[in-house]
């Protein structure tokens, strides 16, 4: 396919590279001076979008998505697919979808799970909202960039799935770190803690796959000085999106709110900025109950 790709950052660049490797013709644009092997770089987002069968965006937030959509939708041909892989607020995703549909385009919101490592390896999971025809057309692209794509329903539901998933992830990582710190103070070794919990009712992805304790379980950012696989800053962004959505939907989310407040303190007042979201463990190691 002829693909336009807007946003060639840490996630977008490897995703675009995987599309090239799969044999697609990719024209790209980014506000930074970047080079991606095999991608034809364009001077504007509209130029990258012009004539493309599918235009993919990977952008930092909803405001930027809305601005880019205003530029590229008029440049796209009716019948093309606007595939946004950013993680943004549900309202922005639905507003952009309405704009695209009014111009005769298929619109998909398809945020991803898997981080930079998944983008590089082509093992991302896509949570997709939008029309079925667009989802089917984009199928080969999901196959090139990831391992799974789930159609979650109408526009905005991809973002809804992403923020609900990451609200669970944020809260479970916090309590996993709390439990390791408590185990330390009770004299229970971390290895014993992992061996029990990872095969018992307390098991979770945060424990089994992404263990926050260095040297315990599979390799994770904890074994690399908590250099981010998924930054605490990004977890805070997603939790704030979840709280924004909960406010709009009148949903009671006390655990999600507590997780959001704690990550805000960790990132903005403590030393969490630029660290992996599992670096909550060294935070709890040094703290008492008071």
Note the pLDDT of residue 33. Answer: 84
Residue-level length of the chain: 290
Residue owning tokens 């896509």: 126
Give pLDDT tens digits along the chain (290 positions): 999 999 999 999 999 999 999 999 999 999 998 999 999 999 999 999 999 999 999 999 999 999 999 999 999 999 999 999 999 999 999 999 999 999 999 999 999 998 888 999 999 999 999 999 999 999 999 999 999 999 999 999 999 999 999 999 999 999 999 999 999 999 999 999 999 999 999 999 999 999 999 999 999 999 999 999 899 999 999 999 999 999 999 999 999 999 999 999 999 999 999 999 999 999 999 888 86
Q: CA-CA distance, 247 to 92, in Å (whole number)?
A: 15
Note the pLDDT of residue 229. Answer: 87
In terms of C-beta density within 10 A (0-12 exposed, 13-18 middle, 19 or more buried), how is residue 201 classed? exposed
Q: Which residues are catalytic?
A: 162
How many angstroms separate the Cα of 153 from the Cα of each of 134, 157, 160? 12, 6, 10
Please report, to the nearest 10 degrees, the dihedral formed by the alpha carbons of residues 50, 52, 56, 62 taken in order: 30
For residue 51 the two structure tokens come to: 């004539």
In terms of C-beta density within 10 A (0-12 exposed, 13-18 middle, 19 or more buried), how is residue 150 classed? middle
Q: CA-CA distance, 10 to 228, in Å (whole number)?
A: 12
Note the pLDDT of residue 117. Answer: 86
For residue 141 the two structure tokens come to: 């692209």
Pairing state between β 81-84 and 106-109: parallel
Q: CA-CA distance, 61 to 75, in Å (whole number)?
A: 22
Neighbours of 148 (CB within 10 A): 13
Residue owning tokens 């919990």: 197
Q: Under 8 Å CB-to-CB from 158, ≥6 apart: which residues?
A: 93, 108, 109, 110, 111, 126, 127, 128, 129, 130, 152
For residue 272 the two structure tokens come to: 């969490």
Q: Where are the beta strands (DSSP E) in the chain?
A: 2-6, 25-29, 40-41, 54-57, 81-84, 106-109, 112-113, 124-130, 146-153
- The DSSP call for residue 276 is B
């Amino acid at each position: 396919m002829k693909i336009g790709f807007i946003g060639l950052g840490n996630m977008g660049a490897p995703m675009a590279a995987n599309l090239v490797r799969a044999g697609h013709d990719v024209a790209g644009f980014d506000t930074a001076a970047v080079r991606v092997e095999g991608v034809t770089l364009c001077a504007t987002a509209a130029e990258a979008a012009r004539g493309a069968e599918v235009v993919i965006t990977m952008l930092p937030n909803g405001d930027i998505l809305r601005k880019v959509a205003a530029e590229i939708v008029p440049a796209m041909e009716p019948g093309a697919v606007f595939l946004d892989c950013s993680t943004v607020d549900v309202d922005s995703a639905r507003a952009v979808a309405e704009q695209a549909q009014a111009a005769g385009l298929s619109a998909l919101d398809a945020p991803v799970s898997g981080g930079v490592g998944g983008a590089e390896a082509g093992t991302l999971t896509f949570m997709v909202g939008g029309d079925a025809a667009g989802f089917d057309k984009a199928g080969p692209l999901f196959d090139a960039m990831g391992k799974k794509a789930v159609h979650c329903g109408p526009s905005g539901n991809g973002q809804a799935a992403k923020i609900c998933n990451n609200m669970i992830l944020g809260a479970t990582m916090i309590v996993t770190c709390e439990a390791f710190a408590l185990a330390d103070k009770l004299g229970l070794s971390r290895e014993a803690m992992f061996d029990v919990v990872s095969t018992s009712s307390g098991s979770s992805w945060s424990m089994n796959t992404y263990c926050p304790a260095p040297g315990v379980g599979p390799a994770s950012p904890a074994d690399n000085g908590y250099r981010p696989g998924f930054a605490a800053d990004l977890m805070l962004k997603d939790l704030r999106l979840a709280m924004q959505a909960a406010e709009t939907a009148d949903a009671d989310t006390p655990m999600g709110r507590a997780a959001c407040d704690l990550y805000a303190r960790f990132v903005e007042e403590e030393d969490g900025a630029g660290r992996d979201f599992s670096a909550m463990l060294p935070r709890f190691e040094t703290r008492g109950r008071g």
